[in-house]
A and B are shown apart, each in its own frame.
Chain A
Amino acid sequence: MSEIWFRMTELWLIYGSVVQFMLINIALALSTFAVMSTGVFSVAGVAFMAIGAYTSAIMTVRFGQSMVVGMICGVALSLIISGLLGPIVLRLRGHYLAIASLGCVMVVYAILMNANTLTGGALGLKGVPVVVETWQLILFVVILAYLFHVLSGSRVGRAWKAIRQDERAAASMGINVFRYRLLAFVLSAPIAAVAGSLFVHLTGFAFPSNYEFSMALNMVASVVLGGMNHWLGSVLGAAILSILPEALRSLSQYREIVNGSILVLTMIFLPRGLFDPRWLQQRLDALAKALGALQRSKRPHG
């Protein structure tokens, strides 16, 4: 028994951090999924993650507050900013919206790099208390999963899906496209902010280059790989993209190349993503049919 326990601890020591980062990536992917599931391509989630992360780091390091206070402040700030930014940004469409969201990320990044007295500039903030434990991450992801499960069957979830499939048709059915998109945008911000806060309290530092292009790639790639049909797809995508570099440890140098190639290949060959409920349903139906036929053929004729 103690032997098994010892092995488990050993495994956890090696792979624990992979699981922890995977959980954070799942949360970030779900935040991005909320926005992308309404047919909006936005990378603004990175900006909200940065806001959550740095607010938490600044509150604890500069003002000596606890992590909970920092996280609450980060969430509040992200809600305020997304509430102000959302109505403006979401009036744009297509390319313009994508560019505007990228602009927001870059503005936040430039502020992080240059507001030295508060953010520590390019060197970042060190000495953030490392207080996050794995069960907190698991709890957060479970809460999110429950939230998305409830949402996907609800009026809101169905409206999002309708908007993504055909914006005009949805509008003509009486769905207020703008309002539902705003809801998705404002919902995604605090999720990213909490994930950011957990991230800094897990690693113990806040570093500006974590909140740039590669993070945007990470978040978007998870959602695209998993597919935008179902929130479980994003969970799957984030899990794969977090474990893959570990499985290909000898290729760790090529992590970004792998991520980028996955993005391109998925978009070209698997436009509906890995997790496709319709496909799954078809397979299950076919299986049921085959089983039924098998049963009928066993029955004697007459």
Chain B
Amino acid sequence: MELLLQNLINGLAIGSVYAIFAIGFTLMYSVLGVLNLSHAAVFTLGSFAGLFSATTLHLPPYIAFPVAMIASGMLAVVIDYLVLRPLRARRADPLAPLITTFGAMVVLTSLAQIVTDTQAMRYPPDFLPARMFYFGWLQITEIQITMIVSSVFLTIALSLFLRRAKFGKAVRAVAVSESVSLLLGIPVNRVIALTNFIAGALGGGAGVLIGVAFNAVVYSMGENYMLKGITAIVLGGFGSIPGAMIGSLFIGVLESLSVGYGGGHFRDAIIFALLVATLIVRPQGFLGKDSLGQRS
């Protein structure tokens, strides 16, 4: 029983980070209609930005974290401008963005590989103290608490923004229909840039949290999380933010249980098999499809 509960806690902590990542993904999908594979590279570079601000700039965690998020948000805007905007202007084939963002991901990932010389890097030991709290047999680390708290905070902030703020409502309007929004005088291009910024910031934030949690920042970390993020989105239904969140938590728990009970050998195989199986059985996901705009 203790083992089960402990695994649940570990799984929810890691799943809550997957959730931030996946929400960024699904936000871009519902507004732009594009599965932006470069989100993985933004995740990785966010992690590097956090590391850079912590080691070279000696910033404390509560500043380094927002700095990394802003940097990755800006990166996402630049990627969109270079790689997706020309395709939007041409009204290209819906699969073309898949190819260009894949290309962008590879370029950025191998840039990171060259810059870091393929080495894994670590956060300084005093960046986040590795304190633990005990509840009877259960232990929870301070990092895990940070992960859960920041994930909950960011998700609530995002949904408040989308529901209450004027610009948030504009984002939802663009998700419903770009041309109608344009007719109504919504600055669509700015909304798209903002969406990319938010999504990128969320991706980069997830990168920092994962980098701190496993205390390793590697150039190749993004690819794996991208696939987990995609699995989470598929499980929850494309374009659905609550779906992405629940899917991510489910994956986190599933992973943690498979490591706890199965030794973790086939952890990734289980996740990807789940992805393929979901696509076959229920491609619209288990929470049905309610894209950002269709639900208000």
Contacts and interface: CB of A to CB of B under 8 A. Distances in A.
> Chain A contact residues (Cβ within 8 angstroms of B): what range?
35 or more
Interface residues of B, number: 41
A256 B266 contact: no
B163 to A, nearest CB: 27
A41 B97 CA distance: 12
Main secondary structure of the interface of B (DSSP, over half): helix
A69 B229 CA distance: 40
Contact of B98 (A41, A213, A257, A271): A41
A103 B272 contact: yes
A213 B268 CA distance: 15
Nearest to A224: B99
B63 interface: no
Contacts of A257: 106-107, 110-111
Contacts of B162: none
A92 B110 contact: no
A95 B93 CA distance: 12
A301 B223 CA distance: 72
A98 B107 contact: no
Contacts of A102: 227, 230
A254 B280 contact: no
B92 A256 contact: no
Given A94-B95, A99-B35, A213 B106 contact: yes
A262 B273 CA distance: 32
Contacts of B265: 114
Interface in A76-103: 88-89, 91-92, 94-96, 98-100, 102-103
Contact of B273 (A99, A107, A259): A107
B86 interface: yes
A92 B276 contact: no
Contacts of A98: 35, 95, 98
A152 to B, nearest CB: 21
Interface string B83-94: 100110010111
A186 interface: no
A213 B113 CA distance: 15
16 contacts: A95-B35, A95-B238, A98-B35, A102-B230, A103-B231, A107-B273, A110-B272, A114-B269, A257-B111, A259-B103, A260-B107, A263-B103, A264-B83, A264-B103, A267-B87, A267-B96
Interface of A: 41, 88-89, 91-92, 94-96, 98-100, 102-104, 106-107, 110-111, 113-114, 213-214, 217, 220-221, 224, 253-254, 256-257, 259-264, 267-268, 271
Given A110-B266, A253-B114, 18 more contacts: A92-B283, A95-B94, A96-B283, A98-B95, A102-B230, A103-B227, A103-B276, A107-B269, A114-B269, A220-B99, A220-B102, A224-B99, A264-B82, A264-B103, A267-B100, A268-B86, A271-B90, A271-B92
